[in-house]
Structure 1
């Protein structure tokens, strides 16, 4: 099999990546399985059925064709792509397969963001949307996310069904397609009209409202991704022009040359933004990831000092400030993941907001939004701790564009009262407890690493109690068995959420949660605790369960 693939390297689109790979990396392309999971497809480039290349992309597209034909006689698909390596090429290959099989495709000429796709799927009433992105993963990754007509990512059952159709494609090396020009002439590949982008910008404008003052100066950086010029256009429409762009870091570039990793969760991605803020005497720095679904925030003060806000803290600020902004006596609520800060529920309860908990993955938030479409309740915020937020559901995935515009507006309103975001957050901590939140992602590479992750999770699932110094254990929640164990009484209760590989330890002081990553050879460890020495707790936990 490998020989057949190697004969086609020049056609694979990934020859430049293949040529610098080790023999072990190349072989992994034939031993690993590239599957469409509940988070879509995400992988590195290379030849073979286990890596992203022209042929595995075409296999996905042919499977998608079969899936769509099973849903409707006349499917219509919207494709967007980010600034990563091969994103546009992969988008073109998918469009060619779909078009050759008689499916109408809307394809833009240039990169677009994830929130634009989510909005446009609903606006254009397409059967599905496809986003070519690996979000904030390293530069040698790319991926595919599939969206339903509601603008949310496919849920578990549709994802499994699509995966089964993809698996029926037996010979990915010999999928025939017409060229783009022919399909465009036949009206099967259509241009993406800018009036749809205008409709998205208008929706953000309606949410945020025009700026009456612009005392706050903001530094914007796209981390070489898709948020600019879209975000700057939105701000201009809102009559806010007191911003500067970190130009070197905002040129589209799949190598992400100015950062270690294009992820606003990493504080060092703000280094250039902080330098520019110092030069410009700016008070706010906003960074978005490559597909503009996640956002990071740094506030700068008169003395030149700065404050970086983690994903949980941004969520607390948005919840509090958005709730202040909303008037009326209708029921208001938030949606959050089960690994979001323990403080989020305490704050929501104090604000008399309903709380809907969902599993990790924004598609579960999208599902709740769809279920609540006819409900008179008011969404205040939907979010995950990993810097993904949605305030208005005109898009149904994480939306850094609407979030950025709102944060600037809130910062401006606070500035008029000589207040800061940090001051608001400090008041929340003072009233409800200074919870410390930290997410760790230990890496376990290769087949040995996969086995270690599996063994660690199995060990956690056997626990009937947990003993960590300075913490008082209350419950162990096993989301595989969907049981919550009271460690004091030994009694169990059912968890009314879908099954997933997650263990959550509930303490009087907060929680610790563990799960394997769905897209990388890593584990995710979540700590949210009202303790003096969080690092000490982490060190004890890692040592006790062999997580270093």
Structure 2
């Protein structure tokens, strides 16, 4: 049985439609999950959802049929949903596993599969490895009957409405512009806000297989349509969700991008201060160290890049809030998982409870209170085999100085294969650090830096590039 093209990464399996994602391989993965369920299942139940990509709905049904062929109870979404809805369904309906057919923000020629644990979090590395080890272990079975096809969104919305102060948002008179990027979040956020008397308008609210010609990643370079919409209208804030609705990008009323690092810092400060939301904080190593100025170091956990690591630490530490620099946020009381819709609602609640009616003025005050964040990242193509030697070499030599700054601490991170694939150097002064990462799946090295001004950040990024170039010449 062919399993060469089925390789799981940190967030499931993604590949090209037809070449990788096809009926045959979907059946192979579904049967592997069924075999996994025989070993690990408690309730013998799986929730299955799908986004708006080509073939997602068909793949979801095929996946469900294989599970039913193995006498597993299946709850199948009756419509396109965002990934967090599947995560919530796992918790709400006591499912052992959630399956989401999506390739997140990848280009439209891709599709994929995400697995969710019974608590709604991303599958742990060892669980994914077990499923992968069972690929091709047995022949797929099928049964079209007995699949419970329901609206997964309804229960999710009831849950969200209990957690968000819509009255405060309405009383503040906030006017919200939304860009769903033709992804699976659709008009859900707009409809929810309007239900509570809040003005909201959505662009690209109909899911499309090609995401209307854009990359469905809510970052500044992809959000010009939202910026234009904000500048032409009368709004307080702009919110954008990605292809499968688990990430959030934010723009001000003037159509200016809100740096994700600022979004994280302000949300952490607000949410940790809410009644009943006490607890520690979790951030990936690439998130601003200004968190350590705002909160005691003992209350902030630094984990390697990837939301699965954030989720694991949130659960272990009963954390109030977790975040990654790509726009994924997790909240205590909701899910140990990213959720673009819920994140947007918390941001609106934060703005509503401030003295400001627009995000632009809110940010201006916060920058006076907390200072500005100076941070940048570069992704550099590097196909040299020597790139894998850089981080282990640094971990062994432990440099005393970098870019004329004393190194005060070093933390390294390991891949699922036990290789050092990330290393963070903390430097004298705070915040001041350099993070180096080597991609396991692409010929790319990622270099991140934070400093006390933009010139300093560039200096640190250049130092990071030089480290890779120096090793390459050895």
SS in structure 1 opposite 2:134?
helix
* Structure 2 match to 1:227: 185
> C-alpha separation between the residues in 2 aligned to 1:422 and 1:416?
9
SS in structure 1 opposite 2:293?
helix
* Structure 1 match to 2:468: 545
> C-alpha separation between the residues in 2 aligned to 1:386 and 1:416?
26
SS in structure 2 opposite 1:545?
helix
1:39 touches 1:519 (CA, 8 Å); kept in 2? no
> C-alpha separation between the residues in 1 aligned to 2:341 and 2:291?
23
Moved more, 413-422 or 286-295: 413-422
- Specify which of 417, 425, 437 is matched with residue 375 of structure 2: 437
- Specify which of 290, 293, 307 is matched with residue 246 of structure 2: 293
SS in structure 1 opposite 2:424?
strand
- Specify which of 177, 190, 205 is matched with residue 250 of structure 1: 205
Pairing 1:276–2:229 present: yes
> C-alpha separation between the residues in 1 aligned to 2:56 and 2:384?
28
| CA distance 1:436–1:73, change in 2 (3 Å) | closer
* Structure 1 match to 2:293: 346
* Structure 2 match to 1:150: 119
Structure 1 residue 191: deviation in Å?
Answer: 0.7
| CA distance 1:285–1:54, change in 2 (3 Å) | same
> C-alpha separation between the residues in 1 aligned to 2:387 and 2:244?
29
TM-score, with normalisation over the residues of structure 2?
0.88
Structure 1 residue 459: deviation in Å?
Answer: 4.8
- After TM superposition, the structure 1 = structure 2 runs for residues 104-119 of structure 1, keeping only pairs within 5 Å, are 104-119=73-88
| CA distance 1:86–1:525, change in 2 (3 Å) | farther
1:113 touches 1:292 (CA, 8 Å); kept in 2? yes
Moved more, 111-120 or 71-80: 71-80
Pairing 1:528–2:450 present: yes
Q: Which string of whole-angstrom CA distances, capped at 9 and with x for unpartnered residues, describes residues 89-146 of structure 1?
A: 2212211211122222111122111111111110010111111122122222222111
Structure 1 residue 340: deviation in Å?
Answer: 1.6
Q: Which string of whole-angstrom CA distances, capped at 9 and with x for unpartnered residues, describes residues 265-296 of structure 1?
A: x3122211121112212231111101111100
1:42 touches 1:519 (CA, 8 Å); kept in 2? no
Q: Which string of whole-angstrom CA distances, capped at 9 and with x for unpartnered residues, describes residues 148-169 of structure 1?
A: 2111112122222222112535
Structure 1 residue 176: deviation in Å?
Answer: 5.5
- After TM superposition, the structure 1 = structure 2 runs for residues 163-178 of structure 1, keeping only pairs within 5 Å, are 163-166=132-135, 168-169=137-138, 175=140, 177-178=142-143
| CA distance 1:321–1:222, change in 2 (3 Å) | same
Structure 1 residue 465: deviation in Å?
Answer: 0.8
Pairing 1:41–2:41 present: no
> C-alpha separation between the residues in 1 aligned to 2:368 and 2:161?
30
- Specify which of 273, 288, 308 is matched with residue 363 of structure 1: 308
| CA distance 1:78–1:532, change in 2 (3 Å) | closer
Moved more, 307-316 or 460-469: 460-469
Pairing 1:506–2:426 present: yes
* Structure 1 match to 2:385: 451
Pairing 1:307–2:256 present: yes
- Specify which of 261, 268, 271 is matched with residue 319 of structure 1: 268
1:512 touches 1:525 (CA, 8 Å); kept in 2? yes
Structure 1 residue 461: deviation in Å?
Answer: 4.3
> C-alpha separation between the residues in 1 aligned to 2:94 and 2:284?
28
> C-alpha separation between the residues in 2 aligned to 1:293 and 1:272?
20
| CA distance 1:469–1:364, change in 2 (3 Å) | closer
> Pairwise CA RMSD of aligned residues?
3.0
| CA distance 1:199–1:517, change in 2 (3 Å) | same
SS in structure 2 opposite 1:151?
coil
SS in structure 2 opposite 1:136?
coil
* Structure 2 match to 1:472: 406
Structure 1 residue 222: deviation in Å?
Answer: 0.7
| CA distance 1:441–1:103, change in 2 (3 Å) | same
> C-alpha separation between the residues in 2 aligned to 1:394 and 1:360?
22
| CA distance 1:435–1:140, change in 2 (3 Å) | same
Q: Which string of whole-angstrom CA distances, capped at 9 and with x for unpartnered residues, describes residues 376-404 of structure 1?
A: xxx54211111101223422310111111
* Structure 1 match to 2:438: 516
> C-alpha separation between the residues in 2 aligned to 1:125 and 1:200?
14
Between Structure 1 and Structure 2, how many residues are aligned?
A: 464
> C-alpha separation between the residues in 2 aligned to 1:42 and 1:463?
36
Q: Please list every run of 5 or more consecutive structure 2 residues that lacks an aligned counterpart in the other structure.
A: none
> C-alpha separation between the residues in 1 aligned to 2:26 and 2:122?
18
SS in structure 1 opposite 2:448?
strand
| CA distance 1:37–1:267, change in 2 (3 Å) | closer
1:58 touches 1:97 (CA, 8 Å); kept in 2? yes
> C-alpha separation between the residues in 2 aligned to 1:255 and 1:452?
37
1:37 touches 1:160 (CA, 8 Å); kept in 2? no
Q: Please list every run of 5 or more consecutive structure 1 residues that lacks an aligned counterpart in the other structure.
A: 6-29, 374-378, 482-497
Structure 1 residue 66: deviation in Å?
Answer: 0.6
Pairing 1:390–2:330 present: yes
Structure 1 residue 457: deviation in Å?
Answer: 4.2
2:187 touches 2:206 (CA, 8 Å); kept in 1? no
SS in structure 1 opposite 2:302?
strand
| CA distance 1:368–1:476, change in 2 (3 Å) | closer
